[in-house]
Structure 1
Amino acid sequence: MRTVLDFSPLHRSSIGFDRVFDLLESAARTPQPDNWPPFDSVKIGEDQYRIVMALAGFSRDDLRIEVQNNLLTVTGERKTDHVGEILHRGIANRPFTRRFELAEHMLVARAELHDGLLVIDLKRELPEALKPRTIPIGGAEKAPSEARLLQRQAA
């Protein structure tokens, strides 16, 4: 049984969170995908994250990683198979597509495949315009140009 979430009370008291509400509503409506390939998502720092996917038997040429509109997509399809007759298949080799919604300003820093694990490092990089900045506060003294302007106006 699936619970239906109503976000309308939150819409009345919050501004600018439309994308978050859309993501939550979409996740509630979307059927749960199969859980293959298995993965871990880890926060490794203040603005650094890592996704580790278990991809035994896949090579670099079998994988594709794309980022578009805050959606990270990892696609895999094995191009080569074992030589000979398969008596038992215990290692999955089916094609897959795994999608991850990324927050604003998330960038893929690197991706590496080693020992059957695909490691994707992500990093949040805020543009300069969004970083905190210090605003200088003026004092009671007037700047020299302001003082001359006031003297001319008084004369």
Structure 2
Amino acid sequence: MSRMTPFSSPLLLGFDTMEKTLERIAKASDGYPPYNIERIRANTTRGTGDRLRITVAVAGFADDELDVTTEENQLIIRGRQAEADDREYLHRGIAARQFQRVFVLADGIQVLAAELRNGLLSIDLARPEPQRMVKKINISVPD
């Protein structure tokens, strides 16, 4: 028996990648590190679209311990702290925990910049307004 999904309709052509993306999102349920996503509205008359900012709490991580990459419409943020062997902890409540946080980006989203300040990693994204395209398809009639 085959599995029926919402994207298996014959009217939804080419949406099989979206189904895989939704499955990937469902698997990424770890809450560490916490993050915010905010919309930053530009006060311009050019209509360049909204900007987004993802802010991730990465207290204790230096910039060389963080890695921000994009791969196949995904924004991947990795953090890996090196263990300091010369320290002797009486109590350790702040763990040197590595993490990977993945955000799925829509087509056209561009990563503009990343900045680390006061333990917060801010990543700015641009979402340009989509261009409306109407294309006439010629119908050929064989002789």
TM-score, normalised relative to structure 1: 0.67
Provide the residue aligned with 1:72 in structure 2: 75
Deviation at 1:58, TM superposition (A): 0.4
Q: Which whole-Å CA distance do the structure 2 matches of 1:22 and 1:36 have between them?
A: 23
Provide the residue aligned with 1:40 in structure 2: 36
- Deviation per CA, 1:42-92, whole angstroms, max 9, x where unpaired? 222343111111011101011111112111111111136385311122223
Provide the residue aligned with 1:59 in structure 2: 62
Distance of aligned partners of 1:88 and 1:65 in 2 relative to their CA distance in 1, 3 Å threshold: same
Name the % identity.
37
| Bigger relative contact order, structure 1 or 2 (CA pairs below 8 A, ≥6 apart) | 2
Distance of aligned partners of 1:8 and 1:53 in 2 relative to their CA distance in 1, 3 Å threshold: closer
Q: Which whole-Å CA distance do the structure 1 matches of 2:85 and 2:128 have between them?
A: 43
Q: Which whole-Å CA distance do the structure 1 matches of 2:39 and 2:95 have between them?
A: 28
Deviation at 1:132, TM superposition (A): 3.8
Deviates more, 1:36-45 or 1:54-63: 36-45
Where does structure 1 lack aligned partners over 5 or more consecutive residues? 134-155
Provide the residue aligned with 1:150 in structure 2: none
Question: Is the CA contact (8 Å cut-off) linking 1:56 and 1:91 kept in structure 2?
Answer: no
Distance of aligned partners of 1:121 and 1:8 in 2 relative to their CA distance in 1, 3 Å threshold: closer
Where does structure 2 lack aligned partners over 5 or more consecutive residues? 42-48, 134-143
Q: Which whole-Å CA distance do the structure 2 matches of 1:59 and 1:26 have between them?
A: 28
TM-score, normalised relative to structure 2: 0.72
**Larger CA Rg, structure 1 vs 2:** 1
User: Equivalences for 1:2-151 in 2 at 5 Å?
Assistant: 6-8=5-7, 11-28=9-26, 30=27, 32-45=28-41, 46-79=49-82, 81=84, 83-125=86-128, 131-132=131-132
Residues matched between the structures, number? 125
Give the structure with the larger helix fraction.
1
RMSD over equivalenced CA pairs, Å: 2.8
Amino acid aligned to 1:119: S
